[in-house]
Structure 1
Amino acid sequence: MSEDEKTPARAIITDYAQAHFRYFRTVDGTVYAQRNGHPVARPIRSQGTTGSHRQELMVDLFNDGIGVFNGTALKEALDLIEALALSKDVQPTHIRVAPGFDGATWLDLGRDDGQSIRIHPTGWDIRIPDPREVCWRRTQLTGELPLPTRDTDGKGIDLLMRLTNFATAEGECLALAWLIGCLGPSVPVPAPFLTGPQGAGKSTAGRMLVRIIEGMSGDLRRAPKDEENLITAVAAGWVTALDNLSHLPPDLSDLMCCVVTGAESIKRALFTDGDVVRSRYRRPLLLTGIDVGVIRPDLAERLLPLRLERPRVRRTEAELWAEFEEALPVILGSLLDLTVKVRAAEAETPTDLRMADFAHLCAQLDTATGFGALTAYRASLDDLNDDVIEGDLLAQTVLKHAATLDPGAETRMTSSEWLHCLTGLYAGEDCRPLPKGWPTTGKVLSDRLKRLQPTLAARGALIDWGRTKDGRFIEMTRRQAQPPHQQEPML
């Protein structure tokens, strides 16, 4: 056969690849390859150690007796495939959890055979999802989950609570609500903050909660040093767990708010002048620590404090984790049973809480079980408001001034006048020095009050802004006392 009659290697690879793989693109233009009939998708440009498409294509070509091809032929074939895929339909990829058809959601078990769990208000089952319904993306952080046990009769919930050291029943039901929320791909959930005295098993309990969703390879991490490292860690897995926090600087606090409720990061693509890389992220977040100091109000609304107590009987790590690993299939099965009941339950959505989706989930949990999770959630937010106020001298001074007002009375002043009033109230007759961070201008005071507005409102001090022909003003109103049966729930 002459050289002209030989089929080029790139053509052989391209024909084989298109016959054995499905190629599609995501909304950001990344092209993925999905083996026919298999739900796991891999980016064709990936060179990762978890198995790139280039590697699986090379192995398949060799195992099927097609041949061994050099890098140039593979690159040319993949370049053509990528170009052709850019005209295909757009489909998203998901890590660990994904929305499905008919109101169902999916949980990736991380198995090589692609078996996953389909969760529906009518029940759950184990099956391989249709690749056009769910495309799983795997990373090094995607651990394998065991096949859940059926018909557990709630035994797994009891086993989990026996292995952890939650101080109250309210903490236990909030932890269950968070786990159920983690199985929903579109429901933002507040970040559990596991606190307690030294030796209360905060890190151990945090690992257990994470491993129910991420498998036995899931673990806690140290807080990242910058935004880029946090976004990288968040994007590579589903649950992000930060261990032993002792301080929350403003930048990290703001990033945590973004992780809980969702945000997007954009940076320049490498080796390009105009292209950018978009990173969307909204993930369940878990924190542990004894005390993180002052909590900013916006983060407080996204936290779920869970207190632990020191165990009366100590056990070795080997014994504890051996029991947990043995119980994990039962725990997962019980959690899935409870999730089905909760999703089938009907409940009104509380309209006064910022994390309304999670509040609705708590209400559904109460309807399904009678636990009282919504009441516990409100109480936890009330405690966090106290923490914010205790750590902010400006908030304390504003509430002190509000206490001097008549209920329902409105007080209007410019921001500069409010600064003079509050500064004088704090300094007092003794003219004590102002603390570090005290507002220095009316604009700074106005910005601080905007952050504190929900916290102050929960304590009866209503702050609002307005404008007249003479200029802008800040208005403070002391909420009128209401009869107990008409009182609005605390934020």
Structure 2
Amino acid sequence: MAEDEKAPAARQIITDYAQSHFRYFRTTEGTVYAQRNGHPVARPIRSQGTTGSHRQELMVGLYRDGHGVFNGTALKEALDLIEALALTEDVQPTHIRVAPGFDGATWLDLGRDDGRSVRIHPTGWDVRIPDPREVCWRRTQLTGELPLPAKDTNGKGIDLLLRLCNFANAESECLALAWLIGCLEPSVPVPAPFLTGPQGAGKSTGGRMLVRVIEGMTGDLRRAPRDEENLITAVAAGWVTALDNLSHLPPDLSDLMCCVVTGAESIKRALFTDGDVVRSRYRRPLLLTGIDVGVIRPDLAERLLPLRLERPRVRRTEAELWTEYAQILPVVLGSLLDLTVQVRATEADIPTDLRMADFAHLCAQLDTAVSLGALAAYRASLDDLNDDVIEGDLLAQTVLTHAAGLEPGAEVRMTSSQWLHCLTDLYSGQECRPLPKGWPTTGKVLSDRLKRLQPTLAARGVLVDWGRTKAARYIEMTRPAPVPAHQQTAL
């Protein structure tokens, strides 16, 4: 038989085999994935990745089932046809590590070759292979394997984990637990833990321990990327993104971290095209470590979760520490799943005064379930971060100094230029101190800075608002009158 007569037969064999052994679907971004029948892991059919491509598994399947070895042209033409046919199929998302399921459940990918995953529901959790139409896992080199979680731990794993971490107080411990529970919920943004403490407190080690509860023993910390594209690439390839040893947060990185925590979308031109684009949506748990990052911008401060560590009294070798951690990880994971089920089955009021309301609600549920004081600790941590923002911002300090001279209930309206002149004179004083670097130079710059500082100032009893009259726009500062004690009781 001539080569041109063999080619259609080869394409037909490959196409028939592929459609009988694999399920093909597309995502909202238009990427076509292949999912082996009965298996939850999906691979993009165009991938040439090191974690295994669909082309490779198709070639292996054809060979092992006795259909022979096919040349690259036949495979390419067959996959081109399969991809075109899949574009008419139903749309289904793919997920890394954590995914929503049916009936209010969520799933945790254990990263195993057999596809077994953990189904978490308010009624309990169990290990099973999910229905491929319910969950499609996407895996990368960052997807490590988790051990099978232990059953009936009676919370022992939580104590074992906290004993290895060097948390300085109970508040940091309960906030770390709340964050781990939040990492198992794909639809809820969680603030980024910032592990801080003196040199030698084990911040990097503690960060790895928290990350590896979710990502397995291959999970690790990495240095902060130099640009947005590299950070988005790292975020998209895994579930928890952990940045180690931060000493400075430039404005661009600070803004990008805010986007990672609460969710955003990146768009770039598709390769080898003139007008097509690739969309990347991301919202991931983020973890940071460092002694001090300097000045924290107010919008990032509302998305951080400071966890204090202290120097351990007894030092252990790395080999001894991680050997013990690997041994207790199944018990730790089982205890965390037990606690997660208990929290999700608990009802609690949603705090409406905090920006990260979902995480605040989780803390309230955790308090109702096991009475750890997580919500109070979360409020206290935000208060500490407000102090850090004010201590690092001379404009905020000057505004508070001005407000301290107002009568309770007083309202002051001025244009932005008038406010700039007023605050500049107040800062310079009679000594005519030179203005610091970064001090606002125009009314517009001042107005923008005040908008960033608005939540921080409100937490210290100074309300800033904007409005306009027929003549001009204005900025209004108010120092509210204190609420009488009998009204506070009524509230």
- TM-score category of the 2 structures, normalised to the smaller one: over 0.9
Are 1:388 and 2:417 matched, yes or no? no
In structure 2, relative to structure 1, the CA distance for the partners of 1:78 and 1:5 (3 Å cut) is closer
Are 1:431 and 2:449 matched, yes or no? no
Are 1:8 and 2:9 matched, yes or no? yes
Aligned match of 1:286: 287
Aligned match of 2:364: 363
TM-score normalised over the length of structure 2 = 0.98
Measure, in 1, the Cα distance between the counterparts of 2:137 and 2:11: 28
Are 1:137 and 2:138 matched, yes or no? yes
Q: Find the residue that maps to 1:102 and give its secondary structure.
A: helix
- Deviation string 1:181-225 (CA, Å, 9 cap, x unpaired) is 000000000000000000000000000000000000000000000
Shift of 1:480: 1.5
Q: Find the residue that maps to 1:147 and give its secondary structure.
A: coil
Could you tell me which amino acid in structure 1 is paired with residue 294 of structure 2? G
Q: Find the residue that maps to 1:8 and give its secondary structure.
A: helix
Shift of 1:482: 2.6
Could you tell me which amino acid in structure 2 is paired with residue 113 of structure 1? D
Shift of 1:483: 4.5
- Deviation string 1:224-244 (CA, Å, 9 cap, x unpaired) is 000000000000000000000
Aligned match of 2:212: 211
Q: Which structure 2 residues correspond to residues 104-253 of structure 1 after superposition, within 5 A?
A: 104-253=105-254
Measure, in 2, the Cα distance between the counterparts of 1:396 and 1:57: 65
Aligned CA-pair RMSD: 1.2
Are 1:331 and 2:332 matched, yes or no? yes
Measure, in 2, the Cα distance between the counterparts of 1:5 and 1:169: 74
In structure 2, relative to structure 1, the CA distance for the partners of 1:73 and 1:184 (3 Å cut) is same
Tell me, which stretches of 5 or more residues in structure 1 are unaligned? none
Could you tell me which amino acid in structure 1 is paired with residue 136 of structure 2? C
Shift of 1:8: 2.1
In structure 2, relative to structure 1, the CA distance for the partners of 1:176 and 1:487 (3 Å cut) is farther
Shift of 1:23: 0.1
Shift of 1:479: 1.9
Measure, in 2, the Cα distance between the counterparts of 1:374 and 1:336: 20
Measure, in 2, the Cα distance between the counterparts of 1:3 and 1:202: 64
- Deviation string 1:381-432 (CA, Å, 9 cap, x unpaired) is 0000000000000000000000011111110000000000000000000111
Measure, in 2, the Cα distance between the counterparts of 1:380 and 1:486: 27
Could you tell me which amino acid in structure 2 is paired with residue 212 of structure 1? V
Aligned match of 1:92: 93
Shift of 1:63: 0.6
Q: Which structure 2 residues correspond to residues 244-263 of structure 1 after superposition, within 5 A?
A: 244-263=245-264
Aligned match of 1:79: 80
Q: Which structure 2 residues correspond to residues 35-54 of structure 1 after superposition, within 5 A?
A: 35-54=36-55
Aligned match of 1:374: 375
Aligned length in residues: 488
Measure, in 2, the Cα distance between the counterparts of 1:160 and 1:484: 43
Measure, in 1, the Cα distance between the counterparts of 2:327 and 2:486: 48
Q: Find the residue that maps to 1:50 and give its secondary structure.
A: coil
Measure, in 2, the Cα distance between the counterparts of 1:3 and 1:444: 72
Measure, in 2, the Cα distance between the counterparts of 1:111 and 1:486: 58
Aligned match of 1:56: 57
Q: Find the residue that maps to 2:127 and give its secondary structure.
A: strand
Measure, in 1, the Cα distance between the counterparts of 2:24 and 2:4: 30
Aligned match of 1:416: 417
- Deviation string 1:326-350 (CA, Å, 9 cap, x unpaired) is 0000000000000000000000100
Could you tell me which amino acid in structure 2 is paired with residue 81 of structure 1? I
Shift of 1:111: 0.1
Measure, in 2, the Cα distance between the counterparts of 1:372 and 1:173: 7
> Structure 1 vs Structure 2: percent identity of aligned residues?
87
Aligned match of 1:303: 304
Measure, in 2, the Cα distance between the counterparts of 1:396 and 1:443: 19
Q: Find the residue that maps to 1:33 and give its secondary structure.
A: strand
Aligned match of 2:453: 452
Q: Find the residue that maps to 2:355 and give its secondary structure.
A: coil
Tell me, which stretches of 5 or more residues in structure 2 are unaligned? none
- Deviation string 1:258-302 (CA, Å, 9 cap, x unpaired) is 000000000001110000000000000000000000000000000
Shift of 1:58: 0.5
In structure 2, relative to structure 1, the CA distance for the partners of 1:5 and 1:421 (3 Å cut) is closer
Q: Find the residue that maps to 1:304 and give its secondary structure.
A: strand
In structure 2, relative to structure 1, the CA distance for the partners of 1:76 and 1:411 (3 Å cut) is same
Shift of 1:10: 1.2
